Amino acid sequence: MGKFQTTFYNVLLATFAGTGSFLFGYDSGVMTDVIASPNFLAYFDTDDTSPIIGAINSTFSGGAVFGSLMGGLTMDRFGRKKTIQIGALIAVVGATLQCAAANLGMILAGRIIAGWAVGLMSMSVPVYQAECAHPKMRGLIVGLTQQMIGVGFIVSTWIGYGCHHAPDTSSVQWRFPLAFQIAPALILLIGFIWLPESPRWSAIFNGTGFNVLS
């Protein structure tokens, strides 16, 4: 593989892994439009000044704390690739709970689970990118993480804007933006089946999850 092909492959690999960062940005921004949806407020018989609205936003970050704390152990034991896939699977569960919510308890549980998933991926995605990148372009590659978070915020805002044009009697106003979280999570979960493990993890842990250098 030539130099250009190697560079192009590394960028594509990092960009695909950055879908996890995109999900981070999307999940962080999506609730801004959801909790302002007239149908959402009417469906759950609440208003935008209710303390429960603050809880819906804050529980996401609370779940991310637990995900990030377990990220290091999970990456060392199962590898960077599988940790990203685990995070993606958990994200599918959290997003499904949110978009199918019949009560605020399901929304809160879904946000906590989605936060847990994002916490895992916020640890594993940049590590995977860095370990797959050539040293001369590592800064560019890892920088894609932050760029993809920004793209996730932008996409969540536009999807929320579009769904607000649905009738106030339609739950599409908030269910579709929440359901859209499933798309990048499934792309990661399935797509990583064909992507390589981080070469550094493979070399140090020899595919066993235990440091062969210790």
In a domain, 75, yes or no: yes
What's the rounded Cα separation, in Å, for the pair 199 and 65? 27
What's the rounded Cα separation, in Å, for the pair 189 and 90? 10
In the block, which residue shows the tokens 């001369």?
136
Which domain does 122 fall in, by range?
10-203
Per-residue tens of pLDDT for the chain, all 214 residues: 555 556 778 788 888 999 999 999 999 999 989 998 999 999 998 887 788 888 888 889 889 999 999 988 999 899 999 999 999 999 999 999 999 999 999 999 999 999 999 999 999 999 999 988 877 888 888 888 889 999 999 999 999 999 999 999 999 999 999 999 999 999 999 999 998 888 888 887 766 666 654 4
How buried is 28 (Cβ within 10 angstroms: 0-12 exposed, 13-18 middle, 19+ buried)?
Answer: buried
What's the rounded Cα separation, in Å, for the pair 107 and 142? 32
Selection from 26, 28, 63, 33 nearest residue 48 by Cα: 33
Q: Which residues contact 93 (CB under 8 A, 6 or more apart)?
A: 113
In the block, which residue shows the tokens 């493990």?
197
Task: Output the pLDDT for position 39.
Answer: 93
Q: How far apart are the first and last CA of the chain?
A: 33
In a domain, 2, yes or no: no
Task: Output the pLDDT for position 213.
Answer: 46
**What tokens appear for 45 in the block?**
């018989």
In a domain, 171, yes or no: yes
In a domain, 3, yes or no: no
In a domain, 22, yes or no: yes
In a domain, 212, yes or no: no
* CATH number of the domain residue 91 falls in: 1.20.1250.20
pTM exceeds cut of 0.75: yes
Selection from 160, 193, 192 nearest residue 18 by Cα: 192
> What total number of domains does the chain contain?
1
In a domain, 189, yes or no: yes
Selection from 39, 34, 120 nearest residue 81 by Cα: 120
How buried is 209 (Cβ within 10 angstroms: 0-12 exposed, 13-18 middle, 19+ buried)?
Answer: middle
